[in-house]
């Protein structure tokens, strides 16, 4: 077999092994080492069986990950999100938003989506948002006689906004992989993220208006006083502090007052101060937040070490050139190339998570972008939108499994799958809108950084 054929075999075996359930980061490292040993095997240069350049490559890739300034922001943003989650700040936010929107059709669903969108800017961890909102909002909607499928779709779709709305961990990973400014990427993702959240809300209000039985209006409790002043005070004490923290972090990044890592440090400190102000910062919760931050950061870093080793060997064997020559040989238009790339990413989202797609498969398309005249920043925002589907598309819809793990027994997995399908159509609609109006993603970066 030729080296390019070995590279294609390497990629196929990786997908097969992942489907069998092996850990992704260590699979990447093991396969990169195994095929790399073959690729760099040189008996004339090697003085022993361990004198192979693949081991030097692994050490260099590990050092590169440790020395990458962009990735420093990952544990800090994770810590901010976990502190906000553990401090029970989000439950106050959801309750106050629910009261503020009580006269709107599907008010609890709208409040859940708004809470998810705001919480998404505090943490880019889909599992954390879906789990927390599944424990907080999902039982409340079921108690209010919401249709279980409808309520499940709201929680799953809203929980996935964290990988699109800054400060998203996924955008940091894409920036490090594609060599794009994470600051510009954050600016570019802001409007598309809230566009998608807005489409979700429009859908929810529309469905609740046309079919009120899906989302009945909350019943008034005798003697319950819902005057404007108490609701405003609740919003002031729940929404405003978290919004100020998030806007401070994002504003510092967008206006160039701080690097993403510095802004993430501000956010982590602000999360601690906010939790302390609410008197919900205990030693146990702090330990849990630190533990979860370390565990998730280690997973991300080992993913980078394994994936960069895998990608380097794959490229050395000529795998990237095979795929590039094949795609360019099709003589596609820029639109057809984008459709093909997004279709492949959509299909990969069924068996794989966003991290493997960003680190392994997106770099295959990146060298082709200049040929088709496509801005890597715009391509990254489209990919971020598309990757919403990787958490929502059955049968490997991880957001659905997160929710099923904490849902009441009578809520079946098929009910959850059924509920997320309409929200998938909103994702595709957002991608169509973004393609036809690319200024939605490019206006803020141009306004702040290209004047």
Q: How many CA atoms lie within 13 A of 153 on its CB side?
A: 26
- Unique residue bearing structure tokens 């957002």: 430
| Measured distance CA(83)–CA(280) in Å, rounded | 10
Residue 207's pLDDT is what?
93
Closest CA to 400 of 180, 219, 148: 148
* Radius of gyration, alpha carbons of the chain: 23
Indicate the SS3 state at residue 322.
Answer: helix
Residue 221's pLDDT is what?
45
Q: In the structure encoding, which two tokens stand for residue 368, read together?
A: 């082709």
What pTM, to 2 d.p., does this model score? Answer: 0.79
- DSSP-derived letter for residue 205 is H
First-to-final CA distance of the chain: 52
The per-residue pLDDT string of the chain (451 residues; one tens digit each, 9 = 90 and over) reads: 788 888 888 888 887 887 777 777 778 888 888 888 888 787 777 777 777 778 888 888 778 777 777 677 778 878 887 787 777 777 777 777 777 777 788 888 998 898 888 877 666 666 667 877 887 788 888 888 999 999 999 999 998 887 888 877 788 888 888 888 888 898 899 899 989 999 999 999 999 999 988 988 876 544 444 454 466 686 666 667 777 887 788 788 777 788 878 888 888 888 888 888 888 888 888 888 888 888 878 877 787 788 778 878 888 888 877 887 888 788 888 889 998 888 888 887 776 777 778 877 788 888 888 888 999 999 999 998 988 887 888 767 778 888 888 888 888 888 999 999 999 999 999 999 999 999 999 998 888 877 5
Residue 231's pLDDT is what?
61
**Under a CB-based contact definition with an 8 Å cutoff, are residues 57 and 311 in contact?**
no
- Unique residue bearing structure tokens 């895998």: 310
| Measured distance CA(320)–CA(340) in Å, rounded | 16
**Under a CB-based contact definition with an 8 Å cutoff, are residues 322 and 10 in contact?**
no
Residue 234's pLDDT is what?
64
Q: In the structure encoding, which two tokens stand for residue 64, read together?
A: 């590169």
| Measured distance CA(22)–CA(31) in Å, rounded | 12
């Amino acid at each position: 077999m030729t080296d390019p054929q070995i590279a294609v075999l390497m990629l196929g075996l990786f997908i097969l092994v992942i489907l069998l359930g092996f850990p992704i980061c260590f699979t990447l490292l093991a396969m990169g080492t195994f095929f790399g040993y073959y690729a760099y095997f040189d008996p004339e240069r090697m003085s022993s069986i361990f004198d192979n350049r693949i081991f030097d490559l692994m050490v260099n890739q590990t050092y590169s990950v440790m020395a990458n300034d962009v990735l420093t922001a990952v544990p800090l943003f994770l810590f901010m999100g976990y502190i906000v989650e553990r401090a029970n700040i989000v439950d106050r936010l959801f309750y106050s938003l629910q009261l503020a929107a009580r006269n709107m059709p599907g008010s609890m669903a709208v409040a859940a989506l708004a809470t998810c969108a705001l919480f998404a800017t505090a943490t880019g961890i889909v599992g954390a948002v879906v789990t927390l909102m599944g424990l907080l909002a999902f039982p409340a909607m079921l108690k209010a006689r919401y249709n279980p499928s409808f309520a499940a779709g709201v929680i799953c779709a809203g929980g996935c906004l964290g990988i699109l709305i800054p400060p998203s961990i996924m955008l940091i990973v894409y920036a490090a992989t594609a060599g794009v400014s994470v600051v510009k990427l954050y600016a570019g993702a802001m409007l598309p993220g809230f566009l998608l959240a807005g489409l979700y809300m429009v859908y929810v209000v529309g469905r609740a208006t046309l079919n009120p039985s899906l989302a009945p209006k909350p019943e008034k409790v005798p003697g319950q006083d819902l005057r404007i002043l108490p609701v405003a005070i609740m919003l002031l004490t729940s929404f405003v502090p978290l919004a100020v923290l998030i806007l401070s972090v994002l504003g510092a990044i967008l206006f160039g007052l701080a690097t993403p890592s510095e802004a993430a440090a501000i956010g982590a400190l602000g999360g601690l101060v906010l939790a302390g102000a609410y008197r919900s910062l205990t030693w146990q919760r702090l330990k849990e937040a630190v533990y979860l931050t370390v565990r998730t950061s280690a997973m991300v870093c080992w993913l980078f070490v394994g994936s960069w080793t895998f990608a380097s060997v794959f490229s050395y064997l000529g795998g990237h050139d095979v795929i590039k020559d094949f795609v360019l040989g099709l003589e596609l238009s820029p639109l057809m190339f984008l459709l093909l790339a997004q279709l492949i990413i959509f299909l990969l989202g069924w068996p794989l998570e966003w991290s493997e797609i960003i680190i392994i498969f997106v770099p295959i398309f990146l060298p082709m972008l200049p040929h088709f005249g496509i801005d890597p920043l715009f391509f990254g925002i489209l990919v971020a939108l598309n990757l919403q589907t990787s958490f929502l598309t059955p049968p490997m819809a991880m957001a659905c499994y997160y929710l099923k793990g904490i849902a009441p027994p009578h809520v079946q997995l098929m009910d959850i799958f059924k509920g997320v399908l309409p929200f998938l159509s909103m994702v595709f609609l957002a991608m169509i809108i973004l393609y036809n109006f690319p200024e939605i993603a490019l206006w803020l970066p141009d306004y702040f950084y290209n004047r």
